[in-house]
Structure 1
């Protein structure tokens, strides 16, 4: 196969085989066995082909971090997959697989596993998959979720997508997952939902639609309402259950305390009229960001939103204060960019839809902020490292300065994360810089905010929440018309939702959602409620 030979000759780290022409070659001659000798590969994608079988020699590709095998005709995954100990992203969706080898759970670094749209009736116990963040097993034939799926040791597991199966029972220990924020069990055979779901600490997206619940009122609520309302209904049931049990007084006490706090917050809202207007993602023309498989092992978390009707010239210092605000958040909440990175873009210069991707350093081209010349990611990082070392020697320090510590986030990375517009232009290279092409100015009226992280999604939302609240307090919205009202009058900010999906269009996150921006003293007006 020409593509395989070329990859071998050029010692490539990435190989993509996809489409009708590749499929014809595989149908005629099978998959080229030389592929399994490309031990330098860290990204391999074979998709949309007639490929029905993988050789046990797959285990030779020990440097793979991303393995994408979706939309083929595979009937099995060889047990030798367990040799791929560096694997972080594995997508074997849209195949004909009836059983997964138990070896799949012995991949220590696996963060994202997609086995959706297959013929699985069971799955090996997953409690050993300590690094797992995202588990997609939707559109199979499961009658029960995998054993160990709610083991409290799965501290990173944030998304379970198990819709369109035949699951009949959801255990109450779902609350044991400390960072579960998305649970999709739509179109299954559930008749009851455990009331303990209301106590999942991070759960923000719960989809139970398409199940025939015995409690018809609950069933209607599930079909019509948002996660918050469903959790409140389950919470009331849980309170009643505990009220009958004298051993749950502690829970009752918490309930009263919560009501008291709620009342206090409502009282504060009556006196403060600052408001954020959240515009629902528009049916036409809404900005979409698609995550590629390549970026999942590098920097997998991103949230975006659009702030409209901004006035950065409201006072002589408005623009400068906004830039200073971002710097301050980078130093504090973002932990010197270690936890997250903020980028702001002039929306008028952004060509959507966008793609959050990862590129090899020599192939990532960007015009850095305040520069005019395009450079590679490789050159940019090299120059920053030299600058850091020069400053260290100049100041006679044993370590580099704080502004360069975030360079460690790219250390040993084969690919660098980047946000790319529809024309292929890189507009952001987190955590390093965003592009001069989309930089904001005093004349900017609509801002695209981008927050990315290599650690978790919650920190992205927390940073974005804080940035929007501070923008509101600074009076950068439409309602404060002069310098006097900026300091004393009511303020308003208009924020439009942006959706982040995977490459197949499955929703990853929409921001701000109903559970975001819930700050005391600020009224949140949502035009879709």
Structure 2
């Protein structure tokens, strides 16, 4: 929308101003003051401009529920932001803000606050923000978490993203957040974390990599991204601090081997030495595939794991390709909990132009050619069309539920931005949890694929899903058979070749590499790593 159109948008409910032409207009004439008279606005987005300041008249937009101001050059906010009492979503990421007004604490209906990638040295108390669900303060200069963040009254707070700051201490009061699910403190200056962290009953994702912990054993667990093991380790320390013996066996529990155990040991002794093999190739020094995660996607769908499978033969049998597609569907319904826990996408590597970017875009800006279609559409249009299809199918079949892709549309409900994976040209190749791009779809002729697993819950589930997919592919004997000097396995032995993919933040700091040494720990399968 051009700046001139602002004058004629008196009845508008949503307004988006972004990009070079808007930036040029702001640079030449400033932000059009008529904008502040659009009091009916519910949604306002100003992004990717040279905007440095906002007028106190911002407080006149009292009906705003969503205010998006990311990727500008803002240095401050007016105190009058406190007048936006209906605000639920506020995105100030990627600006130059050094200090937030204290009045921001009056936004009691705010559910999501993103101030990542700024220059904040301090943060106002947040204990009055009783509706807060997600707080993203990553990539700043903060030395501690905001005052009041451990207030028991913050009953909705489930995600705290505070990586890439200057924090040296985490309070034991973190145990006061019983609904905390995600805590990211990567790349800070922590030397230890309180054992009380293990008391948080719903904490599923704990990211602490990039800190220099004095406890070296704990540090190793952290660097391996093993949330469950880290929590168990902290829990043992907590029991020690309370004078309990964490290794004490349960009273009356027998340690004798049963006949069943002995029989299992006998069976294990009879197993042949030959086992199926997963051959893991180390991330190449040149030409390795990297996926960078943007701050924008962290509050939408923050977790992604990828790997490359080479030397595939999807035509080994007449049903190999169909079985592989069926496998993904089955995993979506089971291990991925109908895509609520995670989503799998597979791409023909020949069509993937790296490096890749995992980002979040507004529905009207996300452009994709959906799987099995030829025409490019916006994410907004695609979802609207699918909703109409779903409603038509319900009426036709006289059912209250739908099947196929339509049953996943609820996962996007109330999402202001949609997650997407983009290639180096800016083209969207994946829109989880809905569809892939038709441009990178796999076929029977595909010999190398990129596997992408994303999640909004935690990193461990991404790894678990990827592990299971690779193991099942190995069991289905989808690896190409070689002869002579190319042979990498013994006669009758199944093998699969997997290459590591790195996931980093925008600054190049490593988030995860998969498969790592701790992945693919599956009985009955040999894992050969070319870097050991």
TM-score norm. by structure 1 comes to 0.74
Number of residue-to-residue matches in the alignment? 504
Contact 1:44/1:67 (8 A) holds in 2: yes
CA contact (8 A) 1:369 1:439 kept: yes
The CA deviation string for residues 342-395 of structure 1, in whole angstroms up to 9 with x for no partner, is 221101111123344555656654433334444555554455444434433333
Find the counterpart in structure 2 of residue 248 from structure 1: 244
Q: Is the 8 A contact 1:299 1:452 kept in 2?
A: yes
Q: In the alignment, is residue 136 of structure 1 matched against residue 143 of structure 2?
A: no
CA 1:383 to 1:118, structure 2 compared with 1: closer, same or farther past 3 Å? closer
Q: State the partner residue of 1:352.
A: 354
Q: Which residue of 2 aligns with 1:164?
A: 166
CA contact (8 A) 1:105 1:129 kept: no
Which residue in 2 is equivalent to 1:148? 149
Match of 1:226 among 218, 223, 228: 223
Kindly report which structure 2 residues correspond to 1:377-526, keeping only aligned pairs within 5 A, or say none.
377=379, 380-401=382-403, 403-410=405-412, 416-453=418-455, 457-477=459-479, 489=493, 491-499=495-503, 501-502=505-506, 510-512=513-515, 516-522=519-525, 524=527
Provide the rounded CA distance (Å) in 1 between the counterparts of 2:333 and 2:504: 26
> Using a 3 Å threshold, how does the CA distance of structure 1 residues 14 and 303 change in structure 2: closer, same or farther?
farther
> CA offset at residue 302 of structure 1?
3.8
Q: State the shift of 1:299 in Å.
A: 4.9
Shift of 1:472: 2.6
Q: 1:143 Cα deviation (Å)? A: 5.5
**Can you give the 5+ residue segments of structure 1 that lack an aligned partner in the other structure?**
none
Q: Are 2:208 and 2:222, in contact at CA under 8 Å, matched by a contact in 1?
A: no
- Match among 303, 306, 309 for residue 305 of structure 2: 303
CA distance in 2, matches of 1:364, 1:143: 36
Cα distance, 1:130 vs structure 2: 5.8
Structure 2: tracts of 5 or more residues without a match: none
User: 1:76 deviation in Å?
Assistant: 6.3
* SS across alignment from 1:343: strand
Task: Please state how far the C-alpha of 1:443 moved relative to its aligned partner.
Answer: 2.3
Deviation at 1:329, TM superposition (A): 1.8
CA distance in 1, matches of 2:510, 2:41: 32
User: 1:51 aligns to what?
Assistant: 52
2: CA distance, partners of 1:411 / 1:336: 15
CA gap of 1:109–1:474, structure 2 versus 1, over 3 A, is same
Contact 1:23-1:51 within 8 A present in 2 as well: no
How far 1:312 sits from its partner (Å)?
Answer: 1.9
Against the structure 1 CA distance between its residues 376 and 87, is the aligned structure 2 distance closer, same or farther, given a 3 Å change threshold?
closer
CA shift for structure 1 position 324: 1.0
TM-superposed deviation, 1:62: 0.5
Q: Shift of residue 322 of structure 1?
A: 0.6
Q: What do you get for the CA RMSD once the two structures are aligned? A: 4.8
In the alignment, is the contact (CA less than 8 A) between 2:218 and 2:233 conserved in 1? no
Q: 2:55, 2:210 → 1: CA distance?
A: 36
TM-score (norm 2): 0.74
- Distance (Å, rounded) in 2 between the aligned partners of 1:455 and 1:285: 31
Q: What are the superposed Cα offsets for residues 196-231 of structure 1, whole Å, 9 maximum, x if unpaired? A: 668886455424646xx7x5xx47995999356999
Looking at secondary structure, tell me which structure has more helix per residue: 1
* Residues 231 and 366 of structure 1, relative CA distance in 2, 3 Å threshold: closer
1:490/1:363 Cα in 2 relative to 1: closer, same or farther (>3 Å)?
A: closer
